[in-house]
Structure 1
Amino acid sequence: MRKMLVFISLCTILILGACSNEASSDSIDVIKFADAGWDSVRVHNSIAQLIIEEGYGYKTEVTSGTSAATMQALEQGDINVNMEVWTDNIKEIYDKAIDSGKIKKVATNFNDNSQGLYVPTYVIEGDAERGIEPVAPDLKTVEDLAKYPELFQDPEDSSKGRIVGAPSSWVVSEHLETKLETYGLDEQYNYLAPGSDSAIVASLAGAYKKGEPWVGYYWSPTWVTASYDLTLLEDNAYDQALWEESKATEFPPNDVVIAVHKDLPTQAKDVVDFLSKYSTSNELTEEALKYMNENETEPEEAAHWWMKEHEDVWTAWVSAEVAEKVKAALAE
């Protein structure tokens, strides 16, 4: 009998939940944003959240997870907005979600970004002010790393070099491992997948402070690429077929788009209209990220600073009435 009562209770909850979802399919009170784990998406979330809360009167929340997990949540409607979908990094997942109609692209946030393997520029050119001599003047491409495993020696395995990659939970980590295997660099280098973005930065910052060689994955826009003098190693020109086969090219050009769950245009048309006009750039985003790092602030504070600095940019995304409400909130 007790099992039967539990079963009935569970069924009741499911039925009520289904009814609740059905009743709210054309309205929404809380708009949920995706945080896949890096600072730029957190800044863009904060900008959009302030505008949506103060200008349109909705509540907002943020849900954290991996790129794949947040995309799945977006498809299911557990998340409503993703401000930074790096479309080519998760091409298969993104294309499938778009083709199914479960999510909709509403705008391109920015498309002048870059990613790949970087070295501090002093490794190639030296730095006279710091008394650093160039140690790899002929290092230009990813494949050139084959000449320098001793230079980038793995501190835990002196027989090989070390390439610092991306966290294993990021789709790009698999791409990097395949690329290194394709170029035969896995025979000369150990691939390290750090536990987080902050672990990559700590590794780079430690080497940079000492003027030591370092090679690893990063991307722009970030405060890291805005603050450190880094050189992106060249790669073969992008070719879609070759990339899909072996990753033996530079990373695909990434449109970093804003995507929403399929129901949001009917649940919050005013918000989607605003998001459809949202547009920034690598440079604009890096300004906020650099401010965030130099002033040791949270993404929200950096977003507010950015909005005050670039009022002409974000006010073009909204009506004059909404802009005045948001400006009033920023002035408080």
Structure 2
Amino acid sequence: MTLLKQSVAAVTLALASGMAMAECGDIVVAEMDWASAEFAANLDKIILEEGFGCSVDLAPGATATTLASMESKGRPHIAPEFWSNAVRERLQQAEDNGQVIVATKLIPDAADGWYVSKSIADDYPEINSIDDVLARPELFPNKENPGKGTFVNCPSGWTCQIANTNLTKPTAYNFEKAGFVAIDPGSAAGLDGTIAKSYDREEGWFGYYWQPSSVLSKYELKRLTTDADVNDDHWNSCIAKEECDTPQRTNFTPTTVNTIVTTGFAGENPDVMEYINKRGYTSDEVGKVLVYMSDNQADGEDGAIYFLENHEEIWTKWVTAEVADKVREAIN
């Protein structure tokens, strides 16, 4: 189901909201290319258009490039799901310069790190840490490099690829010495595909992933531990930067997933900002939507409509009764 397929009542509602739309105006919302971010962007689009009378365009985005565009162009106006760890210093600078506002924590219990597949967790319960994995490259064979182990990195262009790559260097976890090769899965779908394939074949898989996600729920990945401490200063000054020459072993910093808004838009739209600062959900709550999307080959818009139809107890707390009624009418 898409918004183009909504009832005539929804069209009538949109026309009747002309005055409100003139006040809210045109909004560009960043839609990152992973499932939870696609859901978040489409959820905002529906609520802002149907409830607040805005006109919303979704723009493809990625963490670093979206922030750069918000800094230089003031567009997009909203980045609903922004994983800020990899660009924390730059984000702080943009906030200090008055270019963006760091709004609500969208997913307070989000997390990311390095994981292994269920088959490894089941067959080798003694493998719990990153060092345990690095000692057994034969469990994660690389088809193009016989005798080497495989680490599945983030796709090129994602900021997590930078951090992961730095952590593999000789001064950190030293993948070369351990006999591991990092591969680029090419896309979010490619990354998920490597996990699904390893699950179906009961093969070893080692790589980066995050929570919330349908993948962690469906394929039961096991998160690896490390004896390294969290070092925010080193993470921000080196691990998260391309020019990090001598990275040190560092645990993944606690994940922060905020909504980022341009300062000009925030100042002109206090009602929208009130909604943005109220909305949020747990990994479990959004994880159920992501499983629905995965099982039904649904896109972010379908997921947003599913959430609005099935979880009124969550989203109606973010908006006024009037806005909630408008959204209900639009999706029914």
TM (norm. structure 1) is 0.85
Cα displacement (A) at 1:247: 5.2
1:81 aligns with 2:73: no
Report if aligned partners of 1:152, 1:161 keep a CA contact under 8 Å in 2: yes
Report the CA distance shift for 1:226/1:124 in structure 2 as closer, same or farther (over 3 A): closer
1:238 counterpart residue number: 230
The partner residue of 1:169 within 153, 157, 161 is 157
- Matched pairs, number: 297
Cα displacement (A) at 1:56: 0.8
Cα displacement (A) at 1:27: 6.1
1:90 counterpart residue number: 87
Q: Separation in 2 of the partners of 1:247 and 1:281?
A: 32
1:43 aligns with 2:39: yes
Deviations 1:147-184 (A, max 9, x none): 11111111100131110100121111121112122112
The one-letter code matched in structure 2 to 1:207 is: S
2:173 counterpart residue number: 183
Report if aligned partners of 2:39, 2:300 keep a CA contact under 8 Å in 1: yes
1:137 counterpart residue number: 125
**Aligned ranges 1:1-332 → 2 under 5 Å:** 29-75=25-71, 76-125=73-122, 134=123, 136-181=124-169, 182-187=172-177, 188-235=179-226, 236-244=228-236, 246=247, 248-331=249-332
The one-letter code matched in structure 2 to 1:212 is: E
Q: Separation in 1 of the partners of 2:233 and 2:88?
A: 14
The one-letter code matched in structure 2 to 1:209 is: D
SS at match of 1:110: coil
Q: Separation in 2 of the partners of 1:114 and 1:247?
A: 21
Report if aligned partners of 2:112, 2:255 keep a CA contact under 8 Å in 1: no
| Structure 2 unaligned regions, length at least 5 | 1-21, 239-246
Cα displacement (A) at 1:64: 0.8
Report if aligned partners of 1:110, 1:256 keep a CA contact under 8 Å in 2: yes
SS at match of 1:276: helix
Report if aligned partners of 1:35, 1:65 keep a CA contact under 8 Å in 2: yes
TM (norm. structure 2) is 0.85
Report if aligned partners of 1:81, 1:260 keep a CA contact under 8 Å in 2: yes
C-alpha root-mean-square deviation of aligned residues, in Å? 1.7
2:7 counterpart residue number: none
| Structure 1 unaligned regions, length at least 5 | 1-25, 126-133
Deviations 1:79-131 (A, max 9, x none): 10011111212212211211111000221101211111111122122xxxxxx
Q: Separation in 2 of the partners of 1:45 and 1:101?
A: 23
Cα displacement (A) at 1:241: 3.8
Q: Which is greater in Rg?
A: 1
Q: Separation in 1 of the partners of 2:276 and 2:234?
A: 34
Identity, in percent, stands at 28
The one-letter code matched in structure 1 to 2:140 is: F
Report the CA distance shift for 1:319/1:27 in structure 2 as closer, same or farther (over 3 A): closer
Cα displacement (A) at 1:302: 1.2
The one-letter code matched in structure 2 to 1:266 is: G
